[in-house]
C-alpha cells in the first residue's frame, strides 16, 4: 500500500522543481507577479526595494496584469522547454489579491492545459479559497508559517487586515495562526500537497520552529522548508527589524538536521523573487522583460 501511495505522490511531484529535489535539476518554474496587495505586514519584509541582481521573496521588477502575465507565460513557454510550473508568489499575497490570481490561472490553464499551477500564501485569506483552488486543479500550495504561538507571532507581525478590520499585536497573530492551521487542514482534507515555508529569525522563532514542525506534521503538511531571514542594510528600512541578524549557515543546518525525519524537508530552496523564471538558481527573468514580449496572445 505504501509503495502504491509513494508512486502516486511521485507522479504528482516528479516535475515540480520545489516539491521534488530531483526535479529541480530538470524542470523550471516561472512566477508571475500579479498579486501586489497584501493583508499582513511582516517585520522582515520590504517589498519596495528592488535590485534586479537580487533574489529575495516579495521582490519583483514589474507588476503584471493577468493579461500581461499570460502573454509573458506564452513567450517564456515557447523558449524554456523545461518550464513545468507557473506560480503566483506575490509580490503581495496570492490569496488576498485573489481575483487577479484566478484570472491569471484561468488564462494559463486555457492556453497550456498540462502546466502545473502553484500558489504561495501567508494563509490568512486561504481558508476562503480552498474549494476554488481544488476546482482549478491546483495541486501544490505553499503557506508561510513562522509561528504557532501568538506571543512569538506578535514579534514578527505588527498588523494584519482581516474581514475589513485591522488587528495588531497578539490578537493579530492569534487570528493569523488560526487561519493558517484551518487553511492547512482544509487543504489536507482536499488531498492538495502543501509545503510550509518558515523564515528562521534568530532570537525570535529559531528554536520555536521545532514546535511549528510538529503542528504542521500533525495537520498533514507534505513538506517543510526552513529558509534563513534575509536582511541587509542595503535593502532599505525594514518595518521592525532594525539590528536583526540573519542566521549563519551552520545554524540553519543544525535546525534542519534536528527537524529531519518528521515531515519531508526541503533543502534546495533558492528564496525566489516574485518574478523568477528558469531552473532554480539559474534565473532568467531579465531575458523576458515585458517590453521584449509580443503583444499578441
Ligand atoms: Fe514558486 Fe514556491 Fe511554487 Fe516553487 S518557488 S510558488 S513552490 S513554484 Fe521554490 Fe522558490 Fe523556494 Fe518557493 S525555490 S522560494 S520553495
Question: Which residues sit with their C-beta closer than 6 Å to ligand 1?
Answer: 18, 29, 31, 57, 85, 87, 89, 118, 120, 140, 142, 225, 269-272, 280
Reading the block at residue 240, the C-alpha cell is: 521592525
Mutate-to-test residue for ligand 1 from 83, 89, 276, highest number of ligand atoms within 8 A of CB = 89
- E-strand spans in the chain? 28-31, 40-41, 83-88, 116-121, 140-144, 159-162, 165-168, 193-200, 223-228, 264-265, 277-278
User: Considering Cα of 151, then 180, then 267, then 6, what sign does the dihedral take?
Assistant: positive
Reading the block at residue 1, the C-alpha cell is: 500500500
Ligand 1 centre distance from Cα of residue 228 (Å): 15
Give the bridge partners for 141, in sequence order.
119, 194
**Residue whose CA lies nearest to ligand 1 atom number 10:** 272
In ligand 1, the atom with minimum distance to the C-alpha of 24 is: 13
Q: Which letter does DSSP use for residue 294 in this model?
A: -
Which CA distances in Å does 279 have to 118, 257, 282? 15, 26, 5
Assign 3 a pLDDT band (cuts: 50, 70, 90): confident
Ligand 1 centre distance from Cα of residue 265 (Å): 14
CB neighbour burial string for 61-77, b if at least 16 within 10 angstroms, e if fewer? bebbebebbbbbbbbbb
> Exposed, middle or buried, 160 (CB in 10 Å: 0-12/13-18/19+)?
buried
What mean pLDDT do residues 3-14 have?
90
What are 55-68's pLDDT values in tens digits? 556 666 678 999 99
Judged against a pLDDT cut of 60, whether residue 227 lies above it is answered with yes
Contact assessment for residue 109 and residue 70, using Cβ atoms and an 8 Å cutoff: no
**Residue whose CA lies nearest to ligand 1 atom number 2:** 120
Ligand 1 centre distance from Cα of residue 89 (Å): 8
As for the ipTM of the complex, it is 0.94
In ligand 1, the atom with minimum distance to the C-alpha of 118 is: 3
Assign 283 a pLDDT band (cuts: 50, 70, 90): confident
Query: Is the backbone peptide bond immediately before 91 cis, with ω within 30 degrees of 0?
Result: yes
pLDDT of residue 129: 97
Assign 245 a pLDDT band (cuts: 50, 70, 90): confident
Ligand 1 centre distance from Cα of residue 84 (Å): 12
Q: Using CA atoms, how far apart are residues 281 and 97, in angstroms rounded to an integer?
A: 27
What mean pLDDT do residues 173-187 have?
98
Q: Using CA atoms, how far apart are residues 198 and 201, in angstroms rounded to an integer?
A: 9
Mutate-to-test residue for ligand 1 from 17, 21, 29, highest number of ligand atoms within 8 A of CB = 29
Judged against a pLDDT cut of 50, whether residue 54 lies above it is answered with no
Q: Using CA atoms, how far apart are residues 235 and 15, in angstroms rounded to an integer?
A: 33
**Residue whose CA lies nearest to ligand 1 atom number 1:** 87
pLDDT of residue 52: 40
Contact assessment for residue 163 and residue 96, using Cβ atoms and an 8 Å cutoff: no
Which residue is associated with the grid cell 521588477? 61
In ligand 1, the atom with minimum distance to the C-alpha of 57 is: 14
By mean pLDDT, which of 43-52, 243-252, 268-277 is the weakest? 43-52
Amino acid at each position: 500500500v505504501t509503495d502504491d501511495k509513494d508512486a502516486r505522490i511521485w507522479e504528482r511531484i516528479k516535475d515540480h522543481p520545489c516539491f521534488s529535489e530531483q526535479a529541480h535539476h530538470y524542470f523550471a518554474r516561472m512566477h508571475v507577479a500579479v498579486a501586489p496587495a497584501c493583508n499582513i505586514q511582516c517585520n522582515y519584509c520590504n517589498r519596495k526595494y528592488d535590485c534586479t541582481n537580487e533574489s529575495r521573496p516579495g521582490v519583483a521588477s514589474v507588476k503584471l496584469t493577468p493579461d500581461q502575465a499570460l502573454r509573458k507565460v506564452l513567450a517564456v513557454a515557447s523558449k524554456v522547454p523545461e518550464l513545468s510550473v507557473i506560480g503566483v508568489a506575490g509580490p503581495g499575497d496570492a490569496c488576498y489579491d485573489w481575483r487577479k490570481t484566478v484570472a491569471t490561472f484561468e488564462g494559463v490553464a486555457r492556453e497550456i492545459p498540462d502546466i502545473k499551477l502553484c500558489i504561495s500564501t501567508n494563509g490568512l485569506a486561504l481558508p476562503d479559497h480552498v474549494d476554488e483552488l481544488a476546482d482549478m486543479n491546483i495541486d501544490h500550495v505553499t503557506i508561510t508559517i513562522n509561528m504557532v504561538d501568538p506571543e512569538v507571532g506578535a514579534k514578527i507581525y505588527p498588523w494584519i487586515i482581516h474581514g475589513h478590520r485591522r488587528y495588531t499585536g497578539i490578537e493579530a497573530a492569534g487570528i493569523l495562526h488560526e487561519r493558517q492551521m484551518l487553511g492547512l487542514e482544509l487543504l489536507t482534507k482536499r488531498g492538495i500537497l502543501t509545503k510550509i515555508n518558515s523564515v528562521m529569525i534568530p532570537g525570535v522563532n529559531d528554536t520555536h520552529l521545532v514546535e511549528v514542525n510538529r503542528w504542521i506534521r500533525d495537520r498533514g503538511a507534505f513538506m517543510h522548508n526552513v529558509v534563513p531571514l534575509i536582511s541587509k542594510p542595503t535593502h532599505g528600512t525594514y518595518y521592525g527589524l532594525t539590528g536583526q541578524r540573519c542566521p549563519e549557515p551552520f545554524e540553519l543546518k543544525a535546525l534542519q538536521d534536528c527537524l529531519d525525519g518528521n515531515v519531508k524537508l526541503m533543502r534546495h530552496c533558492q528564496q525566489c523573487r516574485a518574478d523568477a523564471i528558469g531552473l532554480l538558481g539559474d534565473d532568467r527573468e531579465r531575458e523576458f522583460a515585458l517590453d521584449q514580449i509580443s503583444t499578441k496572445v
